[in-house]
Amino acid sequence: TVSLTINGKACTAFPNETILHCARRHDIYIPTLCELDDIDHTPGTCRVCIVEIVQAGREMEQFVTSCNTPVGEGMVVQTRTPKVRAMQKLQVELLMADHLQDCATCTRHGDCELQDLAQFVGLKENRFFDRQRTEAREVDESSPALIRDMRRCVRCQRCVAVCRYFQEVDALVMSGTGVNRLVSLRHGFEQVNSTCISCGQCVLVCPTGALGERDETDRALDYICDPELTTVIQFAPAVRVAFGEEFGMPPGTNVQGHVIAACRKIGVDVVLDTNFAADVVIMEEGIELLERLKAGRKPTFTSCCPAWINFAEIHYPDILPLLSSTKSPQQVLSTLAKTYLPEKLGVPREKIRVISIMPCTAKKDEAVRPQLHMDGGLPETDVVLTTREFARLLRREGIDLKDLEPSEFDNPYMSEFTGAGAIFGTTGGVMEAAVRTIYAVVNGKELEDVELTQLRGFEGVRTATVNLGGPFGDVKVAMCHGLGDTRALVEKVRSGDADFDFIEVMACPGGCVDGGGSLRSKKAYLPLAMARRETIYNVDRTRKVRQSHNNEQVKTLYRDFLDAPNSEKAHKLLHTHYSE
């Protein structure tokens, strides 16, 4: 180990550890904007982490960026001298010089790391702001999912790193020089026609409002407030376990009842559950899988994650025939809300608007796909709000989730869900849910141990062999999350080096519990997944019914409306195709 002092406190460090990292371990705060420990990112571009050091044996002090300067034996580090504080303050002022000055109307207001730094250094004025130069920067609004506003970029490059090293999509690059150096899409593309797959992982690490989702809270409110319309809301499996934090509840708190109450309070007419549709997806996808297996077609990839679909379409179009044709739960629920529900409620489908709340930015892309519009051009899903937007919407309506009395679903057609539907929200869940049902279909009896623990974990790829019985025997399944690992697995499938029957892919590391539309954490990447995932497994464990095929409302749906899984009608309504 290495011994040094920081602000007079004796500290021990690991060889080659940075001063910033060592200080953090010893609970000494050094401000920074670009460094992010969770992704091992220390570009040294923001220069706010400046500290004073005196190396052993030397008298001269030096000023260095602590995020990329290693500790030295006997080093004396000062982080709070008047000189250091003045330099940190100047750095923040320089960062503000070409940062849009409209904090009060920015979607990150109150949740911005640059604002925090301005407070920390005690910034009182902004002498160098150059409005013309700042306002001339690019704002890319071409994508239905994401907005890239370079007027707010602080060049931290975290987005570039996450996209390149974690997702291995590598859609983002730094371009330009000097004060014009900024993030852009590779080859100068706009977001919408780039290789970006809208996963939103870059948004999760952006310290300011430079990257964010397209805000559609106004459109949602327009529908909710229109007395002529019947508004239907659905919310994703993961939303209920990844939302309470925003209102001060412990991470992983199940706020399902609060979300239902909030939806009613803002005036939504019908509250439905995406979990119900997840159960329907298992029926459709499960039977589809068995038919493919009988025909010797393998592997089949799951198709519920829209960023994964984008990835396959853009980066590996030759594998599209391997994707299940079953629509995602979001789209299944929306379709049923405009076909099945009108019959039950006696409301014409033209008067129905479906709003979905998703922990996902790519769901916005999904909703505008031409093949997910009904005859006559009506979209199945009208508006997708990310979890972050839903929080914003509640604030706009003056609602604090904590103050609400939890409520129950009351729709008798599309709100019941099983443990299988619930676990869709975490990686491996779709596969686990599918196995429970296909086993029962093949064997005419329930799987004894419904928890497929081999698929539970955080490794990028997990595999299991399941004895399905009947003509199928052993079936090899895999789950994969994060696109870096997905790319490697897809390459193996293409080269014949991976032998699987069924593969679940979730584009976001951790699955939907840490989706790119979730609440962001300052200074951390994906820190809350464990707590959220544990709650989801508990929901499954405590559910009376844990298999999709035993969901009573699902049975009624097939009896009254769809006939049978994969029937002609089910195929027409609940299956889709992909575009090369």
The nearest distance, CB 232 to ligand HC1, in angstroms, is 15
Exactly one of 329, 428, 482, 565 binds ligand HC1 (CB under 6 A); that residue is 329
On whether the CB atoms of residues 189 and 143 are closer than 8 A, the answer is no
**Residue 112: alpha-carbon gap to chain centroid:** 19
Beta-carbon count within 10 A of 106 CB:
20
Angle at 259 between CA 256 and CA 260, to 5 degrees: 90
Applying CB under 6 A, does 205 fall inside the site for ligand SF4?
Answer: no
Applying CB under 6 A, does 506 fall inside the site for ligand SF4?
Answer: no
Gap between the Cα atoms of 457 and 325, Å rounded: 27
Exactly one of 144, 212, 359, 419 binds ligand HC1 (CB under 6 A); that residue is 359
Instruction: Give the amino acid at 272.
Output: L
Exactly one of 223, 409, 424, 439 binds ligand HC1 (CB under 6 A); that residue is 424
Looking at 72-121, list the stretches that DSSP marks H as alpha helix, in order from N- to C-terminal side: 82-96, 113-121
The nearest distance, CB 158 to ligand SF4, in angstroms, is 10
Length of the chain: 580
What 183-189 contacts at long range (C-beta under 8 Å, 24+ apart), as own/partner pairs, is 183/148, 183/150, 183/153, 183/155, 183/157, 183/159, 183/210, 184/138, 184/150, 185/140, 185/148
Applying CB under 6 A, does 386 fall inside the site for ligand SF4?
Answer: no
Gap between the Cα atoms of 125 and 47, Å rounded: 19
Residue 238 binds what, of ligand HC1, ligand SF4, none (CB under 5 to 8 Å, by partner type)?
A: ligand HC1
On whether the CB atoms of residues 272 and 337 are closer than 8 A, the answer is yes
On whether the CB atoms of residues 512 and 237 are closer than 8 A, the answer is yes
Q: Which tokens belong to 136?
A: 């001339």
On whether the CB atoms of residues 247 and 271 are closer than 8 A, the answer is no
Question: Given the complex with ligand HC1, which of 53 and 236 has the nearer CB atom?
Answer: 236
Per-residue contact flags (x/-) with ligand HC1 for residues 30 to 69, judged by CB under 6 A: ----------------------------------------
Gap between the Cα atoms of 80 and 50, Å rounded: 10
Q: Which stretch binds ligand SF4 (CB under 6 A): 190-198, 286-294, 375-383, 410-418?
A: 190-198
Computed over its alpha carbons, how large is the radius of gyration of the chain?
Answer: 25
Exactly one of 36, 50, 147, 162 binds ligand SF4 (CB under 6 A); that residue is 162
Applying CB under 6 A, does 304 fall inside the site for ligand HC1?
Answer: yes
Question: Given the complex with ligand SF4, which of 30 and 172 has the nearer CB atom?
Answer: 172
Residue 418 binds what, of ligand SF4, ligand HC1, none (CB under 5 to 8 Å, by partner type)?
A: none
Exactly one of 22, 202, 278, 570 binds ligand HC1 (CB under 6 A); that residue is 278
The nearest distance, CB 200 to ligand HC1, in angstroms, is 10
The nearest distance, CB 510 to ligand SF4, in angstroms, is 14
Of 285, 281, 369, 384, residue with least CA distance to 332 = 281
Residue 512 binds what, of ligand HC1, ligand SF4, none (CB under 5 to 8 Å, by partner type)?
A: ligand HC1
Please enumerate in sequence order all residues whose Cβ is within 8 A of that of 394, keeping only pairs 6 or more positions apart, or say none.
262, 266, 400, 401
Exactly one of 32, 45, 208, 328 binds ligand HC1 (CB under 6 A); that residue is 328
Residue 503 binds what, of ligand HC1, ligand SF4, none (CB under 5 to 8 Å, by partner type)?
A: none
| Letter string b/e over residues 475-488, b meaning 16 or more CB atoms within 10 A of that residue's CB | bbbbbbbbbbbbbe
Applying CB under 6 A, does 252 fall inside the site for ligand HC1?
Answer: no
Determine the residue with CB nearest ligand HC1.
512
What is the residue whose two structure tokens read 């008298």? Answer: 59
Applying CB under 6 A, does 199 fall inside the site for ligand SF4?
Answer: yes
The residues that touch ligand HC1, with contacts defined as CB under 6 A, are 236-238, 274, 278, 304-305, 328-330, 358-360, 363, 424-425, 506, 511-512, 515
The residues of the shown chain that bind ligand SF4, judged by CB under 6 A, are 146, 162-163, 167, 169, 171-172, 196-202
